Amino acid sequence: MSRASTRDARPFSLAAEPRRFLSRDDCEALAQRVIGFARGGGETLLSITSEWTGELRWARNRATVAGDRRGNVIRITRAIDGARAQVSTNQTDDETLAAAVRAAERLLRLGRTVPTDFPDPPVPHEYPATHIWSEPTYAQGADIRAAAARALVEPAERAGMLSAGYLGVMARGSALVGTNSGPAMYTPQTFAECSMTVRDPKGTGSGWAGLSSYDWGRIDAPALAARALEKCLASRNPVAIEPGRYTLIMEPQATFALARLVVGSLDRITEEEKQLGPFAAGIDPFTGLRTTKLGRKVLDARITIEHDPMDPDLGVVPFTLENGGIQPYRRATWVDHGVLTKLAYDRGYALHQRMENEGFPNSGSFRMSGGDSSMEEMIRTTRRGLLVTRFSNVVVLDWNSVLATGVTRDGLWLIENGKISRPVKNLRFTESPMFAFNAIEQLGPPERVYSPEAPAIVPAVKVRDFSFTSTVDAI
């Protein structure tokens, strides 16, 4: 795995204008001040996230608000002799920071000492170079968003429909600095997202389209507007059908709602609860260690699920700051041609269950392999089935089987004899992705979906016997 140090200067220019979020220099200087305020020895650790958001919401074909928001979270942890206390502030002035350190030290004196389970891991100095900064995205102004939104609303309004949506860009600096962790770790990143819902004014049809990326330039907003409108028009006046088992064609956004549950199960085994997830096999009676399904076939052989922080189409921060510690994300193939090959876990699990010093964090970002079936081909080869745009309000009923329930939203169509025959009313499903992804008929090419915080690339999927359990009136 090739690695580049992000401590080097990056092609990143926070313009000379008043900064909208804290830069690397700001974070380093702030941390040195905080460390200087500490009294009584021990360790001081800071994690800093600082962000700016430029955004626009619209509804009923008019902008409802445009905004510029800025914020910081500066978390200071003081640890002395196994006792640990944490304070958090969004201020950067000396008075506040000194007072914050005093507050943490006061909390330490509460004496709630808990013997440290294990010493902190050595802080790695190298991280993958990830593709998450886009200068034009950071430079996007309110005027650009306003003009873009007017253009996105226009086709819907012309068709007599109602458009509502959100268009936002964000820039964030994430830093970690500590007395024991060497020089500051800092990563700047940008986010962009655009999504919209077009509804028939009578409320009989609804269409949605959306996309997110670190780079606004990679979002074709007019195409999204056209798609949401088209879906709205085609979904009007749906008829009710019986719940039951259907062959189901999921557009990538729908596949994503299920695939993320599989990916979310990868570190379930580290939980302290009974529900260790679908990849736990039991407890070894002799060692007391948790056994897993690693090496076993868990999904259809056509499915590979990977995580690569350097994937230019995914774009994630190269490390996690969870629980005040820092760990780099690493490349992983979680599922290789259907076989479970890697699990994610925290450091406690690594030490106690795997005799390793470091955890293996899961960023939630992933790429799922696909196939070469086009949407048209999937429809043409379906005698009777359903086509769904996306799922909404998905909740897991049982983590061990990943049985989940949720509803279809923004376009559900009946397919009969290889053709879309009519829009149908939404349905509630009760199904597990572990079942659905073992009943795959066809796969489309993987594509980026709307998933602002943890980017994902997934294909359209056609599955057999997908379980719908009740009808839903909502449109």
Partner 1 sequence: MTIDRRDFLRHATRVAALGAIFPRSMLPRLVRVPPPAGWSVAVDPDPAALAATAVDAARGAGAAYADVRLTFRQWRGFGWPPSELEEMGMGARALVNGYWGFASTPYWTPDEAARVGREAVAQAKANALGTQRVVELGTIPRVSGGEWSSPMQVDPFALAPGEVADWMDGLRGWASELGGGLGINWTVGFVKERRTFASSEGSTWGQTFHTTSASVGVDYKERRWGLDFLGPAQGGWEIVQRAPVRDGIRRIKEAIDEDVALPEKPVEVGRYAVLFDVGAMAALLAQTIGYATELDRALGYEANAGGTSYLNDPLAMLGSYRAGAPALTVTANRGEPGALATVRWDDEGVAPESFTLVKDGVLADFQTTRESAAWLAPWYEKTGRPARSHGCASAPSALDLTMQHTPNLALQPGAGDADFDALLAGMPDGLAIRQVRPEMDQQHSSGVGLNTSNSVYEVKRGKRVAVVKGAGMLFRATDLWRNLTALAGAKSLRWLPAGQSEKGEPSQTTPYSLGVVPGVFKDITIVDIMRKA
Residue numbers 99-118 binding partner 1 by CB under 8 A: 99-100, 102-104, 106-107, 109-114
Residue numbers 332-371 binding partner 1 by CB under 8 A: none
Residue numbers 58-87 binding partner 1 by CB under 8 A: 59-60, 62-73, 75, 77, 84-87
CB-based contacts of 411, cutoff 8 Å, min separation 6: 206, 207, 208, 231, 232, 234, 235, 387, 388, 389, 390, 423
Residue numbers 33-62 binding partner 1 by CB under 8 A: 53, 55-57, 59-60, 62
Residue numbers 372-391 binding partner 1 by CB under 8 A: none
* Residue type, position 19, single letter: R
Residue numbers 254-293 binding partner 1 by CB under 8 A: 272
Selected from 5, 90, 180, 374, the binder of partner 1 by CB under 8 A is 90
CA distance 173 to 241: 50
Min dist. Cβ of residue 10 to partner 1 (A): 25
**Site map (CB under 8 A) of partner 1, residues 8-37, x = contact:** ------------------------------
Residue numbers 153-212 binding partner 1 by CB under 8 A: 162, 164-166, 168, 195-197, 199, 203, 206, 208
Q: For residue 250, what are the β-bridge partners?
A: 388, 461
Residue numbers 423-442 binding partner 1 by CB under 8 A: 426, 428, 430-431
CA distance 391 to 435: 17
For 93, 154, 180, 209, 392, the CA distances from 177, given in Å and listed in that order, are: 17, 48, 8, 40, 39
Terminal C-alpha separation, the chain:
47
Min dist. Cβ of residue 283 to partner 1 (A): 18
Q: Which is nearer to partner 1, 60 or 380 (CB)?
A: 60
Q: For residue 209, what are the β-bridge partners?
A: 196
Min dist. Cβ of residue 141 to partner 1 (A): 8
Q: Which is nearer to partner 1, 203 or 222 (CB)?
A: 203
Min dist. Cβ of residue 281 to partner 1 (A): 21
CA distance 102 to 40: 11
Which range touches partner 1 (CB under 8 A), out of 4-12, 139-147, 172-180, 441-449? 139-147
Min dist. Cβ of residue 374 to partner 1 (A): 28
Residue numbers 303-332 binding partner 1 by CB under 8 A: 323
CA distance 139 to 128: 25
Secondary element (H or E) of residue 231: helix 221-234
Structure tokens at 472: 């839903």
Residue numbers 388-417 binding partner 1 by CB under 8 A: 392-393, 395, 397-398, 403, 405, 407, 409
# of chain residues touching partner 1 (CB under 8 A):
91
Which range touches partner 1 (CB under 8 A), out of 121-129, 138-146, 330-338, 375-383? 138-146
Q: Which is nearer to partner 1, 199 or 307 (CB)?
A: 199
Q: Are the C-beta atoms of 402 and 262 separated by less than 8 Å?
A: yes
Q: What is the CA radius of gyration of the chain?
A: 25
Ranges of beta strands (E only) in 251-374 are: 280-283, 290-292, 305-307, 319-320, 327-328, 332-336, 339-340, 366-368
